[in-house]
Structure 1
Amino acid sequence: MIVKNTYGSSVAFSVKQFGRIPKNEFTGSALDRKKQEPKKDTKAKKKESKDKGRTERSLSRRSKQKIRKKITCFARCYKRLSFVTLTFLNKVSDEQAVNLLRKFVDNAKKRSDDFQYVWVAERQTKNDIFEGNVHFHMITNKYWKIDKWWNYWIDLQLKNGIEPRDKDYKPSSAFDVKQLNSNNIRSIASYVTKYVTKNDAKFKCQVWNCSKRVSELYTDFYTTEEYTDQFIRMGAILKEKEIKDHNNRTFLKLKMIDLNRNTLPLYKRLDDKNINALKK
């Protein structure tokens, strides 16, 4: 059997059942996507774009898994990360909100040598005045000067027609920053679970995005079952599940692995692959 691994989980699958052996040891990077030729029919493309704008979007199960993996790999490449929450002074449409977020991100890029990020949209549920208003959570590798960027985020909203509900309403929570220790993988996982995994809201805008460098991080690598045997010997298997075919033969094995100071060194090959990729 061939095993597909990422931080905290390993899936062993039957090559005979699935019919092919992976060509590359590492997968999950945007670098491996096949480039598609641009479509000549621009009218059809514009119509498709408009249709997408009308359709509500949400995070699929696959997207949640992808975000979880990208954030974990991102955290393994930087010692410290920041968790930023951006909220609005008044009620905004989803489209207006995401356009302001893009302007904010573009400005941060211009003022940073190496600005990497992952952002996710979320609905406000505990705000009675702006109930359902979109806001954004963003994990970045940037150190933020709070006063400077808080003022910029407020001014950006004012310049784009978002007036506060009261004349002097400038909440400190509009730009909220928490520092994350990337060595504490459980801390990172808790944020991912809270703001990504449980996020089932629908939006009339893009639901998540990440910087180019983060999209290029590899999230998975292939091994034989000898690799996962190491976790068994360490007593690090939290949960195990087997899926069998109609002949009662196992063709899929799932192992959930405890991430700690003993098990994390076994992911060094993935750490090194991504750290080297970021240097290019």
Structure 2
Amino acid sequence: MYLVKNTYGISSVIHPKVANLSSMGKLAGSSMDRKKYTKKYKDELEQLISKPLDFEETKKDEVKKLRSMSRRTKSKIRVKIIAFSRVHKNLSFLTLTFVNKVEDSLAVKVLHKFLDNCVKRSKDFQYLWVAEKQTQNEAFKDNIHFHIINNKFWKIDKWWPYWIQLQAKFGIVPRDASFKPTSAFNVKHVSSNNVKGIINYLTSYVTKNESEFGCQVWNCSKKISRLYTGHYSGLEFIHQFERLEAAGQLGGTIKTYKQDYANVNVIPLNRVTINFYSKVDNKNKQFWNNPESSEKIKETL
């Protein structure tokens, strides 16, 4: 028996040697299903004994490693965005840029402060943010900025000045005092009714991102992290798409990529095929409307 992991538009047939058949029929992708490990206590003396007194190693540790988005990370962000759009019809795509050159580590601190304030002042504010480097800005080459997919209606005349003022509190001010950076706070409305459009529009900023950062590259609110993004099944799930393809009703073709321990099938995602993930969507909607009962939601289909 073959085990297939299905996320939005991706079905991976797992090799029998590594497949865990106990996962058959279960949902996948929610932080609620992560294994919890107990932290072993070590007193200060034990830590000193276990840590080698190597100056060169200590010096090496002080140099921060740059972070980038792996293919797996990009895939995770993509399906989280789609899951978010399936439970919330109207989303906003907010881009936050800085008025001057800024270090990545400071930029993410400003972002966290901004998001914390949004959470305090907005009812049920949910978000997923992704960092990106500005390649077209000659004045601030490779300056970091952020894209935030969220469920908030933004009052520009209120939040744009706040974003500029917040930067100033961290010492980030325009080189020209008379400069008014209207593009620093850019909002676009995205309707989830257009499945293909939202996927292409929102995830394009993720898949093209090859930059390296001196900070965290993405994050999302806890409620979004708990959304399911797929489920495990047998081969019949893929066969449904194959029948649609044979009948010319798939809206494209299935592309298969062979890997060491899985065959990855890329399936066109549109108004027809998105309906095949309704069981995942229904579980997410159940949780979204009643998050207090999230721990009680059964993970089986």
Find the counterpart in structure 2 of residue 120 from structure 1: 130
Find the counterpart in structure 1 of residue 238 from structure 2: 228
Find the counterpart in structure 2 of residue 248 from structure 1: none
> Could you report, residue by residue, the CA deviation over 1:97-120 in whole angstroms, capped at 9, with x for unpaired residues?
000000000000001111111101
Is the CA contact 1:240–1:253 (under 8 Å) kept in the aligned structure 2? no
Distance 1:218 1:148, change over 3 A: same
2:197 to 163, 187, 198: 187
Is the CA contact 1:89–1:169 (under 8 Å) kept in the aligned structure 2? no
Q: Which amino acid aligns with 1:269?
A: K
Q: Which amino acid aligns with 2:266?
A: M
Is the CA contact 1:154–1:170 (under 8 Å) kept in the aligned structure 2? no
Distance 1:42 1:113, change over 3 A: farther
Find the counterpart in structure 2 of residue 36 from structure 1: 37
Q: Does 1:136 align with 2:146?
A: yes
What residue ranges of structure 2 are gaps of 5+ in the alignment? Answer: 48-56, 292-301
Q: TM-score, normalised to structure 2's length?
A: 0.83
Distance 1:107 1:39, change over 3 A: farther
Q: Which amino acid aligns with 1:231?
A: F
Q: Which amino acid aligns with 2:3?
A: I
Q: TM-score, normalised to structure 1's length?
A: 0.89
The 5-angstrom pairing of residues 63-102 of structure 1 reads: 63-102=73-112
Find the counterpart in structure 2 of residue 5 from structure 1: 6
Q: Does 1:240 align with 2:241?
A: no
Is the CA contact 1:94–1:203 (under 8 Å) kept in the aligned structure 2? yes
In 2, the alpha carbon distance for the partners of 1:244 and 1:88 equals 41
> Could you report, residue by residue, the CA deviation over 1:168-189 in whole angstroms, capped at 9, with x for unpaired residues?
2121110000000112122222
In 2, the alpha carbon distance for the partners of 1:78 and 1:51 equals 42
Find the counterpart in structure 2 of residue 106 from structure 1: 116
Ranges of 4+ aligned residues in structure 1 off by more than 3 Å: 38-44, 50-53, 242-245
Find the counterpart in structure 2 of residue 25 from structure 1: 26
Query: Greater CA deviation, 199-208 or 32-41?
Result: 32-41
Counterpart of 1:234 in 2: which secondary structure?
A: helix
Counterpart of 2:163 in 1: which secondary structure?
A: helix
Distance 1:136 1:242, change over 3 A: closer
Is the CA contact 1:57–1:206 (under 8 Å) kept in the aligned structure 2? yes
- How many matched pairs? 271
Find the counterpart in structure 2 of residue 277 from structure 1: 287
Find the counterpart in structure 2 of residue 176 from structure 1: 186
> Could you report, residue by residue, the CA deviation over 1:203-242 in whole angstroms, capped at 9, with x for unpaired residues?
1111110000111111120112122221122222623326
Is the CA contact 1:78–1:141 (under 8 Å) kept in the aligned structure 2? yes
Is the CA contact 1:119–1:138 (under 8 Å) kept in the aligned structure 2? yes
Alpha-carbon RMSD: 2.3
Q: Which amino acid aligns with 1:13?
A: I
Q: Which amino acid aligns with 1:29?
A: S
1:192, CA displacement in angstroms? Answer: 3.9
Find the counterpart in structure 1 of residue 71 from structure 2: 61
In 2, the alpha carbon distance for the partners of 1:266 and 1:221 equals 11
1:161, CA displacement in angstroms? Answer: 1.1
In 1, the alpha carbon distance for the partners of 2:32 and 2:270 equals 29
In 2, the alpha carbon distance for the partners of 1:27 and 1:133 equals 36
Distance 1:243 1:62, change over 3 A: closer
Is the CA contact 2:93–2:188 (under 8 Å) kept in the aligned structure 1? yes
What residue ranges of structure 1 are gaps of 5+ in the alignment? Answer: 246-250
Is the CA contact 2:4–2:235 (under 8 Å) kept in the aligned structure 1? yes
Distance 1:125 1:63, change over 3 A: same
Is the CA contact 1:238–1:255 (under 8 Å) kept in the aligned structure 2? no
Q: Which amino acid aligns with 2:21?
A: I
1:90, CA displacement in angstroms? Answer: 0.6
Is the CA contact 2:30–2:229 (under 8 Å) kept in the aligned structure 1? yes
Distance 1:52 1:118, change over 3 A: farther
Identity, % of aligned pairs? Answer: 49
1:136, CA displacement in angstroms? Answer: 0.5
Distance 1:244 1:80, change over 3 A: closer
Find the counterpart in structure 2 of residue 162 from structure 1: 172
> Could you report, residue by residue, the CA deviation over 1:39-74 in whole angstroms, capped at 9, with x for unpaired residues?
535876xx99x9487111111111111111111111
